[in-house]
């Protein structure tokens, strides 16, 4: 019997809703938002709360954040020791539906990226004692929300410490005219995006099919894959942590785009965690583990960002002993041992969660050398990794 993460019964004990006007959103003129505060939220505490932006999927709205069903799927209610603040907003399309795709629209009436960066985040940080620095800001999203999460990751990577994008609803290419025949996110493809009139499509995308969209507009506003390529150096330098998952039986064929993005990130040396979930569909029982697994990544990276582990005095002494040639009789006394289920009760020497730091120090490997991944441009006809 699979074990699932414990849930927090107080998850929704302190929620708020409201509207926020923005010069960036001309249709609709005000944006609906929802907020989850910790049960004992303190506006005056010395350390700001981590802020997590939760982007809802298509055909949902701000209420997805505060709906217990939405929480059960995403894992937002998984118990965690650090109190955080969540915020979401309704990403409305120009035709009034909630399928805005988190994009700056072709007609200029909805500049959703700027809305979040210039209005929503400052509003949250000013009023709720949260965020304020990269290490205190995070984004999560599923499907359409996963698409939006990647857009923030690749357009504004220095703003956020970690991004979780699950089954992101993105086209599998960098050009609207060069998508796979079975790309179901293509607005002119076999399935197409639902509930959109010709007027709505032109307003959002500037065309009625992806094949006829402007290439520059497609790269800048529609395709996270193109955004990752075009902004690769900035993304690398930001050290934003990325998590991407998708089922390999997704009925929207989103595995095509996710796999392509994974290869683009690998090729451009953008570090990330990628889960191709065997047997996973767009919905279904795999979400019992996928949501909590994604949240586990977010919590881990949050702890690493806010309270990074530093070498102890004992660890520094060991590094210096290794670098000094391991002189006999001078070895520092190592007291850290672990005896638990992970070692079968045998125990072993343990430093921290990043033992490679100490191994690298012992071998005089400098950060950025990447000695293990430099290689030829291609291996057996497949692209390897770009040089620095």
Residue with the larger pLDDT of the pair 162 and 370:
162
Answer yes or no: is pLDDT of 362 > 80.
no
Residue with the larger pLDDT of the pair 167 and 388:
167
Q: Is the Cβ–Cβ distance between 141 and 168 less than 8 Å?
A: yes
The pLDDT, as a whole number, for residue 155 is 97
The pLDDT, as a whole number, for residue 17 is 97
Kindly state the average pLDDT of the residues 318-331.
76
Mean pLDDT is lowest, of 120-134, 196-210, 270-284, 345-359, for 345-359
Distance of alpha carbon 103 from the chain centroid: 17
The pLDDT, as a whole number, for residue 87 is 97
Kindly state the average pLDDT of the residues 352-358.
55
- State the DSSP string of 141-153: EETHHHHHHHHHH
Please state the pTM of the whole predicted model. Answer: 0.87
Answer yes or no: is pLDDT of 91 > 60.
yes
Answer yes or no: is pLDDT of 179 > 70.
yes
Answer yes or no: is pLDDT of 119 > 90.
yes
The pLDDT, as a whole number, for residue 129 is 98
Kindly state the average pLDDT of the residues 109-133.
97
Q: Per-residue confidence at 72, pLDDT binned at 50, 70, 90?
A: low
Q: Where are the beta strands (DSSP E) in 2-142?
A: 15-21, 30-36, 51-55, 85-89, 137-142
- For the chain, domains (ranges, CATH) are 15-306 (3.40.50.1820), 312-388 (no CATH)
Q: What angle do CA 67, 72, 76 make, to 5 degrees?
A: 85
**Tokens of residue 288, six digits:** 């019992």
Most confident of 2-11, 200-209, 376-385: 200-209
* DSSP letter (8 states) at residue 7: B
Answer yes or no: is pLDDT of 138 > 70.
yes
Answer yes or no: is pLDDT of 348 > 50.
no
Cβ-count burial 249-263 (b if 16+ within 10 Å, e if not):
ebebbbbbbbbbbbe
Residue with the larger pLDDT of the pair 182 and 379:
182
Residue with the larger pLDDT of the pair 157 and 184:
157
Alpha helices in the chain (DSSP H): 68-74, 112-114, 121-128, 144-155, 198-205, 215-217, 224-230, 232-238, 254-267, 287-306, 313-323, 356-362
The pLDDT, as a whole number, for residue 246 is 98
């Amino acid at each position: 019997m699979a074990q699932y993460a414990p849930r927090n019964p107080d998850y929704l004990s302190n929620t708020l809703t409201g509207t926020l006007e923005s010069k960036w959103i001309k249709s609709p003129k005000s944006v609906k938002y929802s907020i989850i505060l910790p049960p004992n939220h303190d506006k005056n505490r010395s350390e700001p709360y981590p802020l997590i932006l939760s982007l809802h999927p298509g055909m949902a709205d701000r209420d997805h954040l505060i709906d217990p069903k939405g929480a059960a799927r995403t894992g937002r209610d998984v118990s965690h020791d650090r109190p955080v603040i969540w915020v979401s907003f309704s990403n409305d399309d120009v035709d009034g539906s909630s399928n805005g795709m988190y994009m700056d629209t072709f007609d200029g009436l909805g500049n959703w990226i700027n809305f979040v960066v210039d209005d929503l985040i400052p509003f949250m940080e000013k009023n709720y004692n949260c965020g304020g620095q990269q290490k205190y800001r995070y984004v999560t999203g599923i499907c359409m929300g996963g698409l939006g999460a990647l857009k923030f990751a690749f357009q504004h990577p220095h703003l956020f410490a970690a991004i979780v994008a699950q089954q992101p609803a993105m086209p599998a290419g960098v050009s609207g005219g060069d998508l796979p025949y079975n790309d179901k996110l293509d607005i002119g493809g076999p399935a197409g995006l639902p509930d959109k009139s010709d007027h709505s499509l032109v307003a959002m995308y500037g065309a009625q099919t992806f094949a006829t969209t402007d290439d520059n507009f497609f790269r800048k506003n529609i395709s996270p894959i193109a955004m990752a390529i075009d902004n690769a150096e900035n993304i690398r330098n930001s050290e934003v942590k990325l998590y991407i998952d998708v089922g390999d039986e997704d009925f929207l064929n989103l595995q095509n785009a996710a796999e392509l993005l994974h290869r683009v990130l690998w090729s451009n040396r953008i570090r990330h965690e990628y889960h191709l979930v065997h047997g996973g569909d767009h919905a279904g029982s795999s979400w019992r583990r996928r949501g909590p697994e994604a949240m586990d990544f977010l919590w881990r990276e949050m702890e690493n960002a806010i309270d990074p582990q530093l070498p102890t005095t004992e660890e520094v002494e060991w590094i210096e002993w290794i670098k000094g040639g391991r002189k006999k009789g001078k070895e520092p006394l190592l007291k850290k041992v672990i005896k638990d289920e992970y070692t079968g009760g045998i125990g072993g020497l343990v430093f921290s969660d990043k033992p490679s730091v100490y191994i690298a120090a012992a071998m005089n490997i400098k950060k950025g050398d990447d000695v293990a991944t430099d290689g030829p441009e291609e291996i057996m006809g497949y692209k390897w990794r770009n040089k620095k």
